[in-house]
Amino acid sequence: MVSLLVVGFVAGLITGISPCILPVLPMVLVAGATGTAPASRRWRSVAVVVGLVVSFSFITLLGTTVLSALRLPQDLLRDAGLVVLGLFGLSLLVPAIERILERPFLRLHAPQPATSRGGFVLGLGLGAVFVPCAGPVLAAISVIGATNHLSFAGLLLTLAFAAGAGIPLLAVALAGDAVIDRVRALRDRARGMRIGGGAVLLLMALAIGLNLTEGLQQDVPGYTSALQSSVEGGKSVQSQLQSLTRGGSASLMSCTRSATLQDCFAAPNFQGIAAWLNTAGGAPLSVKSLRGKVVLIDFWTYSCINCQRSLPHVEAWYQRYRADGLVVVGVHTPEFAFEHVVSNVRSAVQQFGITYPVAVDNSYDTWNAYDNEYWPADYLIDASGEVRYESFGEGQYGQTETAIRQLLVAADPRLHLPPTTAVPDLTPTELISPETYLGYSRLQYLVGATSIQDDAPATYTFPSSIVAGEYGLSGTWTIGSEESTSGADARLELDFEAKDVYLVLGGSGTLSLTLAGRALATIDVSGIPRLYTLVSGQSEQTDLLVLTASPGLEAYDFTFG
């Protein structure tokens, strides 16, 4: 555990010097520098960073749980943090507001000056809007908070990470103080410094609130990525983080990625299922009722191209081995809001020719019971109810089928199994463009847009240049949480590297395609949102694809093959 805390602390240090700190950096720089005396400024700088560490730790671990319990919006704490920053900015501009804000602290009889206590509150506001770069350590901390797997070890890891991130920020704040102490002209213009600091706080709070800082973070190279990977990517670190995110349950930690059968853990039952498809009368199944059978649980979601490429293998196994005792249960855990609609899932099951039972896991209860993290993911359960094999992502189909056959024979040694299946493996082996989401909740590769208008129509212009893996918008688009909806003169250009290009589309209308300057096709879009094939090539290519959309089309997610 000590080694993991050290890794967490170092990961925080790396985050503290990464591009992700840029939005809060100006506020940290001026927060302490607005004190009246050198000692006061130093106390204020320390208090600001301590407040940030406390606030970030609390919100990450308990924010979602507390807000859900109180039935409050999930972005309430972030909005409250922005209000705090705005009020402190105004207090530096207007002394009367400052006196009102400091009045509660003056009533507290403590050795620290009131300015340091106010700095602590300011730090609380900063922690609410601090969004550090995601790496394995931060991902584990987020999962701990989201799944209520809070433990003392998880709390210590969170504090270690936050403290590590806070040290570079504290150094920045103290450096600002030192500059003021050394430059007499600045010391003599304290009122001007306070006005400037207040303006910075107000402007940065406004920029963060309007998501204007996202472009800055994206444009700055990820100069700490390699260092972060080297510190957090080791097998020992991954194993310890996995232990924490799984709530310390040893039974769910004992499986490792291996081509051989293992003794993993007792298979959890299906939980929180909204509907059962392909069962008699929609009757539910249970792991206990399937004892004596070999069970393959396949986690999937219908708009995921990786899942779609794996489904023919799963269906083929079911058809080939069900007479020999294999039961397949597809657990559909949605990625997008439209995938929660049971009728949409039912239509997808028919479209893909799935005949085995499908559990609609809208609440993620079964997903969480298996501590799953992937689409697709397969868990193979033996006749006694133990998970003996796991496979994540595409590929490894021959290996999985071998495990199925071994467990079937172990359950009934008299079996004479038919030949193995021969479904082509379409898993991409070349370097291809990354999955590209078009909603602001996971927006990553959009270029040329200086600002994003969330959930409101806005006019965009193509960037002057674009490189592989990026896309740009032109005309009117409404960018929602999960999708971008076309308006007047809506066009999208995508520079991709792949053989095949897919896009999840909804709404009703037409989509005209131009590839490398040549007209390619026009696609009619209607019905429930689903995956459409835009480009189907014989070999990998790097080209510019331009989409011209009629108004009302919803574009969710590019994937590549």
- pLDDT tens readout for residues 174-183: 776 666 655 5
CA dihedral sign, ordered 387, 389, 394, 398: negative
pLDDT in tens, 213-225: 644 544 454 455 5
Q: Which neighbouring-strand residues pair with 506?
A: 554
Q: What is the pLDDT of residue 13?
A: 78
Question: Which of 298, 41, 309 has its CA nearest to residue 182?
Answer: 41
Q: Which of 39-48, 194-203, 481-490 has the highest mean pLDDT?
A: 481-490
Mean pLDDT over residues 462-471, rounded?
Answer: 89
Which tokens go with 245? 């995110």
Mean pLDDT over residues 130-146, rounded?
Answer: 59
Q: What is the mean pLDDT of the chain?
A: 78
Which tokens go with 247? 């709530």
Mean pLDDT over residues 437-459, rounded?
Answer: 86
Residue 18: band (very low, low, confident or very high) from pLDDT cuts 50, 70, 90: low
Sorted by where each begins, the domain ranges of the chain are 2-227, 256-411, 436-560
Mean pLDDT over residues 301-330, rounded?
Answer: 90
Q: What is the pLDDT of residue 530?
A: 84
Which tokens go with 462? 């193509």
Per the model's pLDDT, the better-predicted residue between 13 and 507 turns out to be 507
Residue 165: band (very low, low, confident or very high) from pLDDT cuts 50, 70, 90: confident
The answer to whether 399 touches 259, Cβ cutoff 8 Å, is: yes
How far is residue 125 from each of residues 77, 86, 523, measured CA to CA in Å?
A: 9, 9, 48
Q: What is the pLDDT of residue 299?
A: 94
The answer to whether 434 touches 399, Cβ cutoff 8 Å, is: no
Does pLDDT of 444 surpass 60?
Answer: yes
Does pLDDT of 314 surpass 80?
Answer: yes
Which tokens go with 476? 């009117």
Per the model's pLDDT, the better-predicted residue between 553 and 184 turns out to be 553
Q: What is the pLDDT of residue 247?
A: 47
Question: Residue 391 is inside which H or E element, if any?
Answer: strand 386-392
As its CATH architecture, domain 436-560 has Sandwich (2.60)
Q: What is the pLDDT of residue 20?
A: 64
Q: What is the pLDDT of residue 408?
A: 93
Q: What is the pLDDT of residue 169?
A: 78
Planar angle of CA 6, 11, 15, nearest 5 degrees: 150
CB atoms within 10 A of CB 371: 18
The answer to whether 205 touches 82, Cβ cutoff 8 Å, is: yes
Does pLDDT of 404 surpass 80?
Answer: yes
Specify the residue for token string 């994003």: 452
256-411 and 436-560 agree in CATH topology: no
Which tokens go with 119? 């700095």
Q: What is the pLDDT of residue 328?
A: 96
Amino acid at 143: V
Which tokens go with 302? 């219908």
CATH topology of domain 256-411: Glutaredoxin (3.40.30)
Q: What is the pLDDT of residue 450?
A: 80
